[in-house]
Amino acid sequence: MKIFAFSLRPYDELGYLEDFAAQEGFEFGWTSEYPGMDNLSLAEGAEAVSIITNPMTPEILDAFHAMGVKAIATRSIGYDHIDMDHARKLGIRIAHAAYPPEGVANYAIMLMMMAARKVKFISREDRVQDFGLEGKIGLDISSATVGVIGTGRIGATVVKHLSSFGCRILANDPYPKDEVRKSAEYVDLDTLLASSDIITLHAPGLESNHHMIDAAAFSKMKPGVILVNAARGSLIDTQALIANIESGHVGAAALDTIENEAGLYYLDRSRDILPNRDKAILAAFPNVIVTPHMAFYTQEDVREMITSSTGALVSFLRGEATPYEVK
């Protein structure tokens, strides 16, 4: 049994994969390169492939299928970067990762607090020795109404942890949870948008909710609203967000993920001129925090990303069921 891993980070993921391979008794090869038509041959002889947020196009899937690859697992919860319909046609089984929700949930709350307390602006002014208070007054989230869109494992954990702050919490999800009701009030989306001082997104990136936060959604929000996204960049219409920041309608944004981020994260692009104007515009605003899609990045989460996704590949090759298969 042989597995090949693309885009594997030698400084963290490799050690966890070595440990897991020794435990489960499989061979693996790896590269830090992203998969592309010019390097797919590296996976020759492997029955399964591990990726991260690398786009799996029909062309790449066809090539893997021709090489005898039976299964692909992404080391991420989201799998919208994989052409699932084409994978099914080829009979390639797909799995995703799972990891504890606390890392992303707590990161989202951190971003929320940083945006509410204007940490980016304060830090920028500190560097030029402006220690004055003017323009730096913040919002205490304990006095705020926080809207949580999406109450899966991560969103539900956000609600649970936010409840300790004493803020009023509104929630929206097509599948309400009784546990969440203990700390939050489920409302329809329009009510949440209109009533929240802070809105945090924890919905999956699906075709059905692409640009769910668009110009119409922004028009329903309170003036000065704070928007947090540690879920999927596709949930927000970037052009509408920029327009509402420029108009002052959005008071602040804290974004761990943005549209069109493929090819940026998780690479060293420090010497490059980036062909991504939206990121440059967002990063230039003093009231917008942009971090490189790393809310998940804790020791606990990375270990689980490796073991859950690779464990799914092992199960596939052994003919066993796995809860991580994408049906």
Please choose, from the candidates 256, 325, 322, the residue with its C-alpha nearest in 3D space to the C-alpha of residue 288. 256
Catalytic residue among 47, 261, 303, 304: 261
Catalytic residue among 96, 202, 293, 303: 293
Count other C-beta atoms under 10 Å from residue 203's C-beta: 24
- The four Cα atoms 117, 121, 126, 127 give a dihedral, to 10 degrees, of 150
Distance CA 48, CA 314 (A): 9
Place of tokens 């919860």: 77
**Is 293 in the active site?**
yes
Q: Tell me, yes or no, if 18 is annotated catalytic.
A: no
Indicate which residue of 232, 259, 303, 304 is catalytic. Answer: 232
Identity of residue 156: A
Q: List beta partners, residue 199.
A: 147, 227
Using DSSP, state whether 250 is helix, strand or coil.
strand
**What per-residue string of b and e applies to 264-276 under the rule 16 or more CB within 10 Å gives b?**
bbeeeeeeeeeeb
Cα–Cα distances in Å, from 113 out to 118, 146, 241, 262? 8, 11, 20, 27
Catalytic site residue 33? no
Dihedral over Cα of 119, 230, 224, 163: its sign? negative
Which amino acids are annotated catalytic?
232, 261, 293
